[in-house]
Structure 1
Amino acid sequence: MFLNDKFKFAERNTTMSTEIIAGITTFVTMSYIIIVNPSVLNKAGMDFHGVFIATILASIIGTLIMGLFANYPIAIAPGMGMNAYFSFVIVLGMGIPWQSALGSVFIASVIFLLLSLTSFRQALIEAIPPSLKAGISGGIGLFVAFIGMQNAHLVVASPATIITLGNFSEPVAYMSILGLIITIILLVNNVPAAIFLGMIITAIVSFCMGYITLPSSIFSLPTGLGATFMHLDISGAFTPNLFAIIFTFFLVTLFDTTGTMIGIAEQAGLMKNGHFPNVRSALLADAVASTFGSLLGTSPTSSYIESGSGVAAGGRTGFTSVVVAILFFFMLFLAPIAQVLASVPAITSPALIVVGFLMMGSLNNIDWKNIEESLPAFFVLFWMPLSYSITNGVGAGLILYPLIKIFRGKMREIHPLLYVFLVLFIIQFIMMNH
């Protein structure tokens, strides 16, 4: 009776058993993040075990708040794309210590948290044109897929052409191709948890071929959080180079989270006359998770589009999210097997490539025949992977879009905040070259 009143099972035409099945479905579909996120952040020099625990705890915190307070069947975990941006661009590309990068995540998350309590959040969402939002999401997808290709050695650096095909006779390359084919077969046949199952099947094949060995034990008590917990450097984040990074973390998290939440709510039939009920609690769930995640030692969190698999299985209430959080908790004791799986690029790279592809679905929302809208989105789309920076892609779009409108005599169509972004990113690009 209590659960029915709390989660409104009857009102939303669902049952506890249906919600449990939905929660299990969502968890299995998105559980690849438990392996992939520590693997990506480990490349930035962060301790694998620390990030592994931080990933799970941040996911539990955000997903529980989403379930208990917002009552939505939406799961939260560290976002794909932002983790790659954290490791490969900020830490490895710019040479910024991961502690300072975590500090920038903390600042962006606190800003997100505070703005989630105000109407300014909605103004920011409305300020960015839909075409640019779609371009940002698609560009991040290309960037993530590109990193997956690199890790798999399917593309490599070339002095003559900058980039070229890798040597497919290398074990890491042909095993990655095998893993990618397995995952694609599962995906096109609509197999639930295709990405996760693809990783597991590839791991089994790799084990049979002698490329990986099983750990001495599969289970262990959670250890290692001390290597990342409270190691963020907030003062180090207040540098000119990181201002744009903080803005990018905030902006992408805001759009990604809001867009995913609205999409899942529409799929579940929970939107009311185009209105997103209890949106403040839903946004707070992600903001709080990102804030605590930066303290624990992980990149920004985001609402997961994989929550749609749970909704398709019948999930309609926050109890689905509670089930997901409980299952995340049990994963705390599987660090040894997770580390083995994460250590093999052929297991994690196909996941990055496929997730990147799925993120590009947003490009359908761009009117490619309208050059004023599509050209800035195009620059966002290709500039991210080619400049190896999400910040550069976002900046290119936010500069070009208002300039095109100005030269077309449509200044009144531009939200005032876009002029602010225009000036800030011009200054950022000038400072980068000095």
Structure 2
Amino acid sequence: MFKLKDNHTTVRTEVMAGITTFLTMVYIVVVNPVILSDAGVPFDQVFMATIIASVVGTLWMALFANYPIAVAPGMGMNAYFAYSVVGSHGNIDYQTAFAAVFIAGIIFIILSLTRFREVLIEAIPENLKHGISAGIGLFIAFIGLRLTGLVTSHPSNLVALGDLHSPSAMLALVGLAVTIILFALKVNGALFIGMVITAVIALLTGQLSFNEGFLALPHLPEGIIIANPITALGDVIQHSLYAVVFSFLLVTIFDTTGTMVAVAQQAGLMKGKKMPRAREALLSDSIATTVGAMFGTSPTSAFIESSTGVAAGGKTGLTTLTVSLLFIASAFFGPLVSAVSGLSAITAPALIIVGSLMMSNVVHINWNEFDEAFPAFLIILSMPLTSSIATGIALGFISYPLLKLVKGKWREVHPIVYVFAVLFFYQLAFLPH
């Protein structure tokens, strides 16, 4: 099934690669419930939904695409869901927000079966793509700083340095120091190991306790949250969540595609500039996003952490099958994860470091051309300041074609970008946001 001989690998190598990948990305099982619980979603619901979405997407990748690329709820989109979508747009609740994710997932499935996905990816200017990734990175890093009290609100300047002597801030700083040292030493699973060490320190200092034990049978307090596509579409229309759906869709499409291509290239699985079984690979993410929304989690994405498994020798779906089985096993550690996630100082370093990694995209922006650089800068600046990924994307898509028109370069802009610019302008000017 996995064609191990054809890919010059062995069962042992693939299993070890799967364990490596799992250790580098298992932090999402802790961090995702922390973020989405701020939107009111029950912790146990998000915990199980995160695992279900990860297992569905990663298993599909293993069995149908035969790639060593794991799938799980993406960082950035979860923060956007919790801090920008829920409570806005007419004070919508998380059930309605999951309806938007569900519709985005269905559209993604349809696009993954057609060529429009490729056209859309090619139409979006590269500098806007890099700006969006960097902006999301800055956004989630800021959330990590705010959750631990490292930064706090200020009456005149909006934000200020928090109380660094508070137990939460001190623990977060220690955890951040430990984790960045592990990262600098290129230790596999640095984020996860950093959280473990920070949790041990919290336990020794009396900030963490395990009153409910470590193990429990998995359960979903609210069962299936979204089950009817018609009802979900009605919620999107009623609350005018078009920009939200588009933001989920847009970021997921090019983030997933870019990650898949990068990991496939690293594993030597590309055929020229084409990725074999690309349709099956993209379906893994779109199906996982749809299923995840049904149970209660934000959109999924291919995880760049899969590259660690590839570096360990993973080349086939046996790697991701191993990751899936480990995610299933993690479902029985709900009380442990719940206790750890209750202390934001343990999870915040992961947010800050992932944010810094995403910020690396700024190096690819063409800063020498103002009409290319400013829209990207506007995206990066506005995402954290407005607490909205959608607003950042909208301002970038509006300013980019406008500057190209002024400079007489309107032919360089794909017609789809002009359409998006008009739609985003209408949304900002006339619809709730």
TM-based fold match above 0.5? yes
Task: Return the offset for 1:433.
Answer: 6.9
**Could you report, residue by residue, the CA deviation over 1:227-253 in whole angstroms, capped at 9, with x for unpaired residues?**
554378612222354111011011011
TM-score, normalised to structure 1, is 0.96
SS at match of 2:68: coil
Partner of 1:418: 417
SS at match of 1:334: helix
Whether contact under 8 Å (1:51, 1:228) holds in the other structure is: no
Whether contact under 8 Å (2:70, 2:320) holds in the other structure is: yes
Task: Return the offset for 1:81.
Answer: 0.5
AA matched with 1:271: M
Partner of 1:322: 321
Q: Distance in 1 between matches of 2:268 and 2:281?
A: 16
Identity of aligned residues (%): 49
AA matched with 1:400: S
Q: How does 1:218-237 map to 2 (within 5 A)?
A: 218-227=214-223, 229-230=225-226, 234=232, 235-237=234-236
Q: How does 1:361-380 map to 2 (within 5 A)?
A: 361-380=360-379
How many corresponding residue pairs? 429
Cα pair distance change 1:197/1:368, threshold 3 Å: same
Task: Return the offset for 1:217.
Answer: 2.1
Q: How does 1:281-296 map to 2 (within 5 A)?
A: 281-296=280-295
Cα pair distance change 1:358/1:158, threshold 3 Å: same
SS at match of 1:395: helix
Task: Return the offset for 1:364.
Answer: 2.2
Which runs of 5 or more structure 2 residues have no equivalent in the other structure? Answer: none
Q: Distance in 2 between matches of 1:197 and 1:72?
A: 26
Q: Distance in 2 between matches of 1:346 and 1:194?
A: 16
Task: Return the offset for 1:171.
Answer: 1.0
Q: Distance in 1 between matches of 2:294 and 2:347?
A: 25
Partner of 1:3: none
Partner of 1:128: 124
Cα pair distance change 1:148/1:228, threshold 3 Å: farther
Task: Return the offset for 1:225.
Answer: 4.3
AA matched with 2:35: V
Partner of 1:100: 96
Whether contact under 8 Å (1:46, 1:228) holds in the other structure is: no
Matching residue within 23, 45, 50 for 1:28: 23
SS at match of 1:214: coil
Q: Distance in 1 between matches of 2:432 and 2:52?
A: 39
SS at match of 1:69: helix
The structure 1 segments of at least 4 consecutive aligned residues displaced by more than 6 Å after TM superposition are: none
**Could you report, residue by residue, the CA deviation over 1:167-186 in whole angstroms, capped at 9, with x for unpaired residues?**
11111111111111111111
Partner of 1:46: 41
Which runs of 5 or more structure 1 residues have no equivalent in the other structure? Answer: 1-5
AA matched with 1:428: Q
Whether contact under 8 Å (2:98, 2:226) holds in the other structure is: no
Q: How does 1:9-408 map to 2 (within 5 A)?
A: 9-94=4-89, 95-227=91-223, 229-230=225-226, 234=232, 235-239=234-238, 241-408=240-407
1:431 aligns with 2:427: no
SS at match of 2:301: strand
Whether contact under 8 Å (1:74, 1:264) holds in the other structure is: yes
Whether contact under 8 Å (2:99, 2:226) holds in the other structure is: no
RMSD between aligned residues:
1.4
- Worse-matched range after superposition: 92-101 or 333-342: 92-101
Q: Distance in 2 between matches of 1:314 and 1:363?
A: 30
AA matched with 1:161: N
Q: Distance in 2 between matches of 1:38 and 1:300?
A: 13
Whether contact under 8 Å (2:136, 2:358) holds in the other structure is: yes
Q: Distance in 1 between matches of 2:371 and 2:316?
A: 41
**Could you report, residue by residue, the CA deviation over 1:49-98 in whole angstroms, capped at 9, with x for unpaired residues?**
11111110110000000011011100000001000100111114553200
Q: Distance in 1 between matches of 2:407 and 2:369?
A: 13
Whether contact under 8 Å (1:35, 1:342) holds in the other structure is: yes
Cα pair distance change 1:127/1:389, threshold 3 Å: same
Whether contact under 8 Å (1:50, 1:229) holds in the other structure is: no
Q: Distance in 2 between matches of 1:172 and 1:227?
A: 34
AA matched with 2:202: S
Q: Distance in 1 between matches of 2:244 and 2:432?
A: 16
Q: Distance in 1 between matches of 2:402 and 2:378?
A: 13
Q: Distance in 1 between matches of 2:352 and 2:366?
A: 25
Q: Distance in 1 between matches of 2:239 and 2:92?
A: 12
Q: Distance in 2 between matches of 1:37 and 1:380?
A: 24
SS at match of 1:13: coil
SS at match of 2:241: helix
Task: Return the offset for 1:122.
Answer: 0.6
